[in-house]
Structure 1
Amino acid sequence: MSRIGRMPIDVPAGVTVKLDGPVITVKGPKGELTRTLHQDMKVTVQDNVITVERPTEEKNHRALHGLTRALVANMVQGVTEGFKKELEIVGVGYRAQMKGAKLALTLGFSHPLELDPPAGISVECPSATQIVVSGINKEHVGEFAAKIRGYRLPEPYKGKGIRYAGEHVRRKAGKAGTKK
């Protein structure tokens, strides 16, 4: 039995869960999320508890069991608490700022980058070297944060670039220099 898949999901007060065949809709104080789940997985809602069951012990069903439970749990957490990713910018002259709803990044290119956050995602810049991406959909938050980080990945020699908050970048030694 899947250790993750067999755990029940508690539905907090103020959250409504609606099942319509393989489509699950979770509505809470922060918004509403809808997802189509795999048709083999059996999802039930009773007494403010969501359970996910699998039909057989096939490898595919065992994999889908934990995945389905994690997706539903992330939906419930997203509409109640939301998700956020924090990014740090390291490097001389590298900075971020908000221009209206757009995120403007100065990363050493010949031009500043201006990014429009997708719908449902909010971006904040508490300082010139910090970016906070938040929203109710965990996938979209992570994807947009990874897109921002992808413009200047942290490099191993000087450590410059955009990294997740708390991310450790393994440093390398530079050129050794030669003696004549």
Structure 2
Amino acid sequence: MSRIGKKPVPIPSGVEAKINGQTVQAKGPKGQLEFVVNELCLVKMGDDGVEVTPVNKTKEARSQWGMSRTQVANIFEGVTQGFKKNLELVGVGYRAQMKGKTLVLALGYSHDIEFEPPQGIEIKVGKPTEIEISGIDKQVVGEVAAKIRSFRPPEPYKGKGVKYAGEYIFRKEGKKK
């Protein structure tokens, strides 16, 4: 049994929640999101909030149960507080700056990398070596952060590259004479 799936998702104050078949819609102060729950799970409005239950006891239905409940919880958190990820640039000459809505990265290549964020994502550059990505959809925020990190992933010898804030880079020892 899914410990996460058993708990109903409480609806925060200031959020309107609607269930239309398998679609859960949430409208809050930051915006509006919806999630289509897998057909192996049933979703209904209960006294304590939104309840997700599996259709049957198959392994596939139980594996979708906890994930569906977490996705519903994420849309409620997204429309109330939003999500953010922080990236750090480590390396001599590595810097980021904003040109309008476009993020321009200098990452040691012969050219600068220009990244246009998708709709609903806001990118801020506090210092030239720090990037903050924020938005209401957790999946899109994570995808954008991973895309920016993929332009120059951190390497294990000097630790140079784009890394998540707080990420530990396993360091390798270099050549010996």
What band does the TM-score fall into relative to the shorter chain?
over 0.9
Segments of structure 2 that go 5 or more residues without pairing to the other structure are: none
Q: What amino acid does structure 2 have at the position aligned with 1:6?
A: K
Q: Deviations over 1:117-161 (max 9, x none)?
A: 000100000100000000000000000000000000000111100
Q: Contact 2:8/2:48 (CA < 8 Å) preserved in 1?
A: no
Which 5+ residue runs of structure 1 have no aligned equivalent?
none
Runs of 4+ residues over 4 Å off in structure 1: none
Q: Partners in 1 of 2:95 and 2:112 — Cα distance?
A: 10
Partner residue of 1:7?
Answer: 7
Question: Contact 1:89–1:95 (CA<8 Å) still a contact in 2?
Answer: yes
1:24 corresponds in structure 2 to 24
> Which letter does structure 2 place at the counterpart of 1:49?
G
SS at match of 2:3: coil
Query: By how many angstroms is 1:46 displaced?
Result: 2.8
**What is the 5 A alignment of 1:141-160?**
141-160=141-160
Q: Which moved more, 1:30-39 or 1:66-75?
A: 30-39
Please give the TM-score of this superposition, normalised by the length of structure 1: 0.96
Higher-Rg structure is 1
Instruction: Go from structure 1 to structure 2 and tell me whether the alpha carbon gap of 1:117 and 1:144 turns closer, same or farther (over 3 Å shift).
Output: same
Quick one: distance in 1 between partners of 2:42 and 2:156? 47
How much does 1:34 deviate? Answer: 1.4
In 2, are the aligned partners of 1:41 and 1:64 still within 8 Å (CA)? yes
Cα separation, 1, equivalents of 2:45 and 2:97: 44
Q: Is the 8 A contact 1:12 1:48 kept in 2?
A: no
Give me the TM-score of the superposition, normalised by structure 2. Answer: 0.97
Q: How does 1:90-169 map to 2 (within 5 A)?
A: 90-169=90-169
**1:48 Cα offset (Å):** 5.5
- Whether contact under 8 Å (2:40, 2:56) holds in the other structure is no
Partner secondary structure for residue 65 of structure 1: helix
User: How many angstroms does 1:42 deviate by?
Assistant: 1.1
How many residue pairs were aligned?
177
Distance in 2, matches of 1:35 and 1:77, equals: 13
1:14-44 per-residue CA deviation (whole Å, 9 max, x = no partner) reads 1011111111111111000012211231111
Report percent identity of matched pairs.
50
Q: CA RMSD in A?
A: 0.9
Q: In the alignment, what sits opposite 2:86?
A: 86
Distance, in Å, in 2 between the alignment partners of 1:67 and 1:86 is 24
Cα contact 2:22–2:36 (8 A) shared by 1: yes
Q: Which deviates further from its counterpart, 50-59 or 79-88? A: 50-59
Letter of the structure 1 residue corresponding to residue 36 of structure 2: T
